[in-house]
């Protein structure tokens, strides 16, 4: 199965909290990677991840956090 990755930058104008995390994330721009796999009929969403911390924050520790389908769907709707 072939796959492709789409990278986008999303902007949060205020602090937000991801499901399953106690800590609030600061407002700012965040990179989101969406991985899609292909079937015989069409490309379909496989997974989406957000990179923490925000792009502008300088930190030696970074992590990729899997987004829940509901959060990813809300981001896709917001991006148009």
Exposure class string for 2-31: b at 16+ Cβ within 10 A, else e:
eeeeeeeeeeeeeeeebeeeeeebeebebe
> Is 70 exceeded by the pLDDT of residue 74?
yes
* Whole-number pLDDT of residue 1: 52
Q: Comparing C-alpha atoms, which of 79, 29, 24 is closest to residue 50?
A: 29
Q: Which of 35, 23, 16, 34 is nearest to 61 (CA)?
A: 23
Closest CA to 46 of 59, 34, 58, 30: 34
- Is the per-residue pLDDT at 29 higher than 90? yes
Cα–Cα distance between 26 and 61 in angstroms, integer?
A: 15
């Amino acid at each position: 199965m072939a796959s492709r990755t789409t990278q986008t930058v999303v902007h949060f104008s205020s602090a937000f909290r991801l499901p399953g995390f106690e800590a609030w994330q600061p407002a700012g721009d965040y990179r989101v990677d969406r991985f899609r796999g292909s079937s015989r009929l069409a490309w379909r969403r496989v997974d989406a991840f957000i990179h923490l911390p925000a792009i502008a924050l300088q930190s030696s520790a970074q992590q990729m956090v899997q987004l829940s389908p509901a959060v990813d769907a809300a981001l896709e709707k917001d991006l148009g």
